Amino acid sequence: MRKTWMLVAAFVACLATASARAPAAEWKPAAFAKEDTLQLRTVVPGEGEYWFPVWLVVVDDQVYVRLGSRATKRVQRNTTAPYLAVKVAGQIFDRVRGVAAPEFADRVAAAMAAKYTSDIFVRWFSHPLTLRLVPESP
C-alpha cells in the first residue's frame, strides 16, 4: 500500500511540475501592435548585456523598429549578431534576427508618426537603421 501511495505522489508531483512550466513564448505581431515599446538586448564587448526600449510598429504583419545612432552602433557591435533578444508583451524571445529593411524606412516612419504623438519631435533625429524583427523558427 505504501508503494502505491509513493507512486501516486510521484505522479501528482510530475503533473504539478508540468503544469507550472511557463508556456512557450509565441510571436504574434498583431498582438504586439498595441504595445508602446519593446526591449532589445545586445551584448557588446567590454560592456556586456544591455537591454534598451524602442518604439515598434507592425506593418504587413511584421514587427519593425527604427533605431537612432547609439542603438544602431550597439546592434552593429552585438556579439550575438545577427540575433537580438526581444522582450515584448511580457514575453522574451532569445533569438530574433534583426534584418535591415531600408526599403521599409518610409513606411515605418509613417506608421510611427501615426502611432506615436511625440514622433512629431522624434522624427527629426537621425534614424539610420530600420529593422524587421524575425524570430528564429523552432
**For residue 73, what is the domain's CATH number?**
2.30.110.10
Q: Cβ–Cβ contacts within 10 Å for residue 62, how many?
A: 15
Q: At 23, list the grid cell.
A: 508556456
Number of domains, the chain: 1
- Supply the pTM of this predicted model: 0.79
**Ranges of the chain with pLDDT below 50:** 4-21
Confirm whether 2 is domain-assigned: no
The residue range of the domain holding 92 is: 26-135
Check if the beta carbon of residue 44 is closer than 8 Å to that of residue 76: no
Check if the beta carbon of residue 84 is closer than 8 Å to that of residue 72: no
Q: What is the pLDDT of residue 25?
A: 82
SS (H, E, C) the chain: CHHHHHHHHHHHHHHHHHHHCCCCCCCCHHHHCCCCEEEEEEEECCCEEEEEEEECEEECCEEEEEECHHHHHHHHHCCCCCEEEEEECCEEEEEEEEEECHHHHHHHHHHHHHHCCCHHHHCCCCCCEEEEEEECCC
Q: At 138, list the grid cell.
A: 523552432
Confirm whether 78 is domain-assigned: yes
Confirm whether 114 is domain-assigned: yes
Q: What is the pLDDT of residue 17?
A: 42
Confirm whether 11 is domain-assigned: no
Confirm whether 105 is domain-assigned: yes
Check if the beta carbon of residue 106 is closer than 8 Å to that of residue 47: no
Residue 62: beta bridge partners? 59
Q: What is the pLDDT of residue 51?
A: 98
